[in-house]
Amino acid sequence: MFSKILIANRGEIAVRIIRACRELNIRTVAVYSEADKDSLHVELADEAVCIGPGPAQESYLNIPQIISAAEITDSDAIHPGYGFLAENAHFAEICESCGIKFIGPKPENIKLMGDKLEARKLAKKCGVPLVPGSLEKINEKEKALEIAHQIGYPVMLKAVAGGGGRGMRVCHTDMRLVSSFLTCQAEAESSFGDKSLYIEKFIENPRHIEVQIAADKYGNVISLYERECSIQRRHQKLIEEAPSPIIDTKLRKKLIEWATKLAKACKYENVGTLEFIMDKEQNLYFIEMNTRIQVEHPVTEQITDVDLVKLQILIAAGEKLSLKQEDIPLRGHAIEFRINCEDPEKNFVPTPGLIEFLNLPGGKGVRVDTAIYQGYRVPPFYDSLLAKLICYGKDRKEALKIAKRALSEFMIHPLKTTISLHQRIVSDPDFCKGNYDTSFLSKFYREEVYSFE
């Protein structure tokens, strides 16, 4: 087992990883930017190394600085968390060549599944259904038009290297496709350093269903069931739950079978997530794989009683999966709410600043994963996620009751956050019935606060 792990991340996920290490008796090293010197992850880790100024490019994405920090602290592994370097195959390779274990999949896995077209090809080979569309990169708008005519409008232009909900455009007509092509290419180039695009059929108002898997280096693969993440804004998740209200035992079996097949086909190692979308007729289509721990992993932990971050560390240390598929429980229901410092009434403009008063909810069925505290000043440089509220009940109805209660206790004064929006969502009759899809929030906004946009 590792004796010391460096955490190449910040915020709630850095704290989450420190917790797992403590329970495994592993020492921890935090890295931090100058803007994060008063952060909780720095306070909680056994050691901390400053790796540069506030902007992520100069600190949390600065590979030479992070590797030096690992070397001077004699760390034997690096946990990348999510975002930043978590899906950077080059970083994983450098760790390997420096004799530092990267806690995540092998560089080949990251490279293969990080290329959304390669992932689509593999899905096709494995007989996993995928959204109709191209299997090759599209470099000219003429080719884009040809494929759009084959599959029929509406279509979606997507970046081959895309992530974080960026680099996507829905097109309903030839004219829109032509005009979007160059802007989408430019956005892909600036966000991901790769302008390659591909086209998918745009599935109208789908539900987002994803499957959590874990695989060890001996070829054993298990699935920790599905999560539903259809409450999204601009293709980014806001609320996630497990299990999905729409997936029955039969569909779940199918999902597990597909996810396991794909993981085995690429000799995957560590935890990962296969994302699907589901249309009105309950057809499921593979969209992509995330080769890392996911923001919403706690809902899976609540219903399966598996600590996914500890599992990542054990797998990276070469341990064999001790759980068999048939032994993994699925009990109760968990819902996660992303509490972002964004003003939902002002088009989600970021609202960083000083937290003068903080009250975290508690009580039965409530888990809060966060790195904020009273007196903390939220820096303007990073992701706006302040906290994750995870509510667990014996069934969805109970989880929702707990959520309403917990949201009413949650106070982060004077910052504007997404708490107010979540309160409205948990009172919505359709949401309460589990009757929703990825268009839920846009409808919601059109009805009442659309005028703020």
Catalytic annotation, residues: 292
- Which candidate, 74, 91, 88, 60, places its Cα nearest to that of 29? 74
DSSP 76: S
404 in contact with ligand ADP (CB under 6 A): no
Residue with tokens 């598996």: 306
**Closer residue to Mg ion (CB): 269 or 275:** 275
| Stretch of residues binding ligand ADP (CB under 6 A), selected from 54-62, 291-299, 345-353, 444-452 | 291-299
Q: What residue 196 binds from ligand ADP, Mg ion, none (CB within 5 to 8 A, per partner kind)?
A: none
Beta-bridge partners for 164: none
Written as six digits, the tokens of 145 are: 């038009």
Site string for ligand ADP, 258-287 (x = CB under 6 A): -----------------x-x---------x
- Distant-in-sequence, close-in-space partners of 316: CB < 8 Å, separation ≥ 6: 2, 77, 101, 102, 103, 104, 270
**Closer residue to Mg ion (CB): 241 or 275:** 275
Composition of the chain by helix, strand, coil, percent to 5: 35, 25, 40
Interface size with ligand ADP, residues (CB under 6 A):
29
Q: Which of residues 170-229 bind ligand ADP (CB under 6 A)?
A: 200-203, 206, 208
115 in contact with ligand ADP (CB under 6 A): no
Please work out, in degrees rounded to the nearest 5, the angle formed at the alpha carbon of residue 415 by the alpha carbons of 411 and 416: 90
β pairing state of 168-171 and 155-159? antiparallel
**How many angstroms separate the Cα of 134 from the Cα of each of 12, 98, 137, 156?**
37, 38, 7, 11
**Closer residue to Mg ion (CB): 65 or 290:** 290
Q: What residue 438 binds from ligand ADP, Mg ion, none (CB within 5 to 8 A, per partner kind)?
A: ligand ADP
What residue ranges bind Mg ion (CB under 5 A)? 275
Q: Which of residues 64-93 bind ligand ADP (CB under 6 A)?
A: 82-83, 87
Closest approach of Mg ion to the CB of residue 82, in Å? 12
DSSP string across 316-379: HTTPPP---GGG----SEEEEEEEESEETTTTTEE---B--EEE---STTEEEEE---TTPBPP
Site string for ligand ADP, 118-157 (x = CB under 6 A): -------------x------------------------x-
Residue with tokens 């806690």: 103
Written as six digits, the tokens of 388 are: 């994750």
Residue nearest to ligand ADP as judged by C-beta position: 163
**Closer residue to ligand ADP (CB): 48 or 110:** 110
**Closer residue to Mg ion (CB): 111 or 237:** 237
Beta-bridge partners for 52: 33
Q: What residue 295 binds from Mg ion, ligand ADP, none (CB within 5 to 8 A, per partner kind)?
A: ligand ADP
Member of 242, 438, 440, 444 binding ligand ADP (CB under 6 A): 438
Rounded CA separation 275/290 (Å): 8
258-293 per-residue burial string, b: 16 or more CB within 10 A, e: under 16: bbbbbbeebebbbbbbbbbbbbeeeebbbbbbbbbb
Closest approach of ligand ADP to the CB of residue 275, in Å? 5
- Distant-in-sequence, close-in-space partners of 190: CB < 8 Å, separation ≥ 6: none
Residue with tokens 């499957």: 211
Closest approach of ligand ADP to the CB of residue 224, in Å? 15
Closest approach of ligand ADP to the CB of residue 187, in Å? 12
Member of 36, 288, 343, 369 binding ligand ADP (CB under 6 A): 288
241 in contact with ligand ADP (CB under 6 A): no
Member of 71, 97, 136, 165 binding ligand ADP (CB under 6 A): 165
294 in contact with ligand ADP (CB under 6 A): yes
Rounded CA separation 98/104 (Å): 16
**Closer residue to ligand ADP (CB): 276 or 410:** 276
**Closer residue to ligand ADP (CB): 275 or 343:** 275
Rounded CA separation 342/200 (Å): 31
Written as six digits, the tokens of 272 are: 């990962």
Member of 4, 176, 235, 254 binding ligand ADP (CB under 6 A): 235
- Which candidate, 303, 393, 376, 268, places its Cα nearest to that of 38? 376
Give the binding site for ligand ADP (CB under 6 A): 82-83, 87, 131, 156, 162-165, 200-203, 206, 208, 232, 235-237, 275, 277, 287-288, 290, 294-296, 383, 438
